[in-house]
Copies of this chain bind each other. A is one copy, B any other.
Amino acid sequence: MVRHIVVTSVVDAITEDLREQVVNGELPPGSPLTELDVSTRYEVARSSARAAIERLTSEKVLVRRNHKTARVVELGPDDVRDIYNTRIYLESEVLRRLAGLRRVPVSSRTANSEIAELWRGGSYQIVDPDMRFHTGLIDSVDSARTSAAYHSLAFEVKLCMAQLQGRQALSPQIIVAEHARILELIELGDADGAAAMLDEHLSRARELLVGSLGGTPGPEAEWPSSAAPGAPIRQDAAPAVIE
């Protein structure tokens, strides 16, 4: 199937489209992406496909070992723990600074209202506004590198979400309340309180995610493209090693 793309640069477009396909689950974790595959699907030269794959590999969206074909990254419980802990490390100190200034970013407040709204509307698709709440806090300190680091983590969270296709839900009610409490503590200038609340908030989310990733092995899906019938996939883990 030929996929259409808008041309900024061929490689840019392919990279973007593939990334999109990964986050929305069209390319499930672990599915292989050969250079030829990509080049024919988009009708471009192999070198261009290769470049796109390399970029996504450097972004950790794909993983590839030496002479082997790239695969969509699979995030396990350990990764989730790591991602959330790093989020906590980064966001805690930012929160303390904001509390010191008693400054609450508008974008975070509106994002939290959105979640509440969605919840009242019966929707549970709150991942996006939830992320905006947090990135709003981070971005408000106006540090490009801090923002970049956090956004990278946020992207990985999205990958996790794509991975467990909407099973698992965190109660929007609790989320909204905790977010509100965090903003309140910032306004009160209570740095320790805000940091503690954030820790609790993210730690709960972390444990829930870890549980639903590690606890339930899930439906153990097949990877559609180019897999022989009844292929027992995914037993390799060792790179170029010698015993």
Please give the residue numbers on chain A whose beta carbons come within 8 Å of chain B beta carbons, in ascending order: 1-7, 9, 47, 51, 54-55, 58-59, 66, 82-83, 85-86, 88-90, 92-94, 96-97, 141, 143-146, 149, 153, 195, 238-243
B243-A82 in contact (CB<8A): no
A3-B243 in contact (CB<8A): yes
Taken together, the copies of this chain in the complex come to 2
The answer for the CA separation of A6 and B242 in the assembled complex, in Å, is 11
B54-A242 in contact (CB<8A): no
> Looking across the interface, which residue of chain B has its beta carbon closest to that of A199?
B93
The smallest C-beta distance from A31 to any residue of chain B, in angstroms, reads 23
The smallest C-beta distance from A186 to any residue of chain B, in angstroms, reads 16
Which residues in B have their C-beta under 8 angstroms from that of A153?
A: 145
B86-A145 in contact (CB<8A): yes
The smallest C-beta distance from A101 to any residue of chain B, in angstroms, reads 14
Report 13 cross-chain contacts, Cβ distance below 8 Å, ordered by A residue.
A3-B241, A7-B66, A7-B240, A47-B47, A51-B51, A51-B54, A54-B54, A54-B55, A85-B141, A89-B94, A90-B90, A90-B149, A145-B153
Name the prevailing secondary structure of the A interface residues. helix
B240-A82 in contact (CB<8A): no
The 5 closest A-B CB pairs, nearest first, are A86-B145, A89-B93, A92-B93, A86-B146, A93-B93
The answer for the CA separation of A66 and B144 in the assembled complex, in Å, is 21
The smallest C-beta distance from A161 to any residue of chain B, in angstroms, reads 17
A241-B4 in contact (CB<8A): yes
Partner of A240, one of B5, B47, B66, B88: B5
The smallest C-beta distance from A150 to any residue of chain B, in angstroms, reads 9
Which residues in B have their C-beta under 8 angstroms from that of A141?
A: 85, 89
The answer for the CA separation of A238 and B92 in the assembled complex, in Å, is 36
Q: A51-B54, A58-B55, A90-B90 given as contacts; is B239 within 8 A of A4 (CB)?
A: yes
